[in-house]
């Protein structure tokens, strides 16, 4: 069981809430989801669940503003309403459809990523590489990594980003038993104060999520 009270991190940005109001998304005439009303609060883990192809990832992309809603509203709040063009500063994301820069090494990739999304000041890149178990491959090109090693790096760039919101889609894809254990350790240790939103049907990925959003309820 994950204990969300174990560690606190200082974040340079914060949010008070994310609000979906009567939110809906459709492609052509088919509604993927509609009528979603949900408030996401800091320090709370949320799971978006539903059958395969039901629209979990689409809902996550609309929360990230990488995909616009067809109906309703999305609002991110700090002390006041956040400009939609600035929302990307407040979250980090790891998904199966986001690619790594495979001609870089793990060290180079995290250094490059940190230019756009600052990492926690409490750990340096060498620390991160060690924590995720890639110290022997730190300078190897990512294209030579196994799928599990790539997934560890994807999780690292998202979880160690100094942002108040963490968005994850099937976070343990390609991970073995040790990888699952690492994932839970990272969430437990570094995400206490973050708003964590996870798309998954794998209970082992979302066992600590006390809030569940059933996407099939919004058809």
- Nearest one of 19, 29, 21, 30 to 53, comparing CA atoms: 30
pLDDT of residue 11: 62
Report phi then psi at 93, rounded to 5: -140, 145
pTM of the predicted model as reported, rounded to 2 decimal places: 0.93
Predicted pLDDT at 80: 87
DSSP 118: P
Domains of the chain, by residue range, sit at 17-218
Which residues, given as ranges, of the chain have pLDDT below 70? 1-12
What is the pLDDT, as a whole number, of residue 1?
34
**Per residue in 13-44, pLDDT tens?**
899 999 999 999 999 989 999 999 999 999 99
CATH number of 17-218: 3.40.50.300
């Amino acid at each position: 069981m994950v204990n969300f009270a174990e560690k606190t991190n200082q974040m340079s940005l914060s949010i008070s809430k994310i609000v979906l109001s009567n939110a809906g998304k459709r492609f052509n005439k088919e509604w993927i989801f509609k009528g979603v009303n949900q408030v996401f609060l800091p320090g709370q883990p949320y799971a978006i669940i539903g059958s395969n192809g039901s629209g979990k990832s689409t809902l996550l992309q609309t929360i990230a503003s990488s995909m616009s809603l067809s109906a309703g509203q999305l609002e991110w709040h700090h002390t006041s309403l956040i400009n939609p063009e600035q929302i990307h500063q407040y979250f980090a994301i790891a998904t199966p459809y986001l690619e790594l820069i495979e001609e870089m090494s793990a060290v180079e990739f995290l250094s490059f990523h940190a230019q756009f999304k600052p990492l926690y000041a409490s750990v340096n890149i060498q620390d991160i590489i060690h924590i995720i178990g890639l110290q022997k491959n730190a300078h190897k090109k990512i294209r030579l990594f196994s799928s599990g090693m790539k997934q560890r790096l994807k999780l690292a760039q998202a979880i160690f980003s100094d942002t108040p919101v963490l968005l994850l889609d099937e976070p343990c894809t390609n991970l073995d038993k040790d990888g699952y254990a690492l994932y839970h350790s990272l969430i437990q240790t570094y995400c206490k104060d973050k708003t964590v939103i996870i798309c998954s049907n794998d209970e082992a990925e979302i066992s600590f999520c006390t809030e569940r959003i059933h996407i099939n309820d919004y058809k």
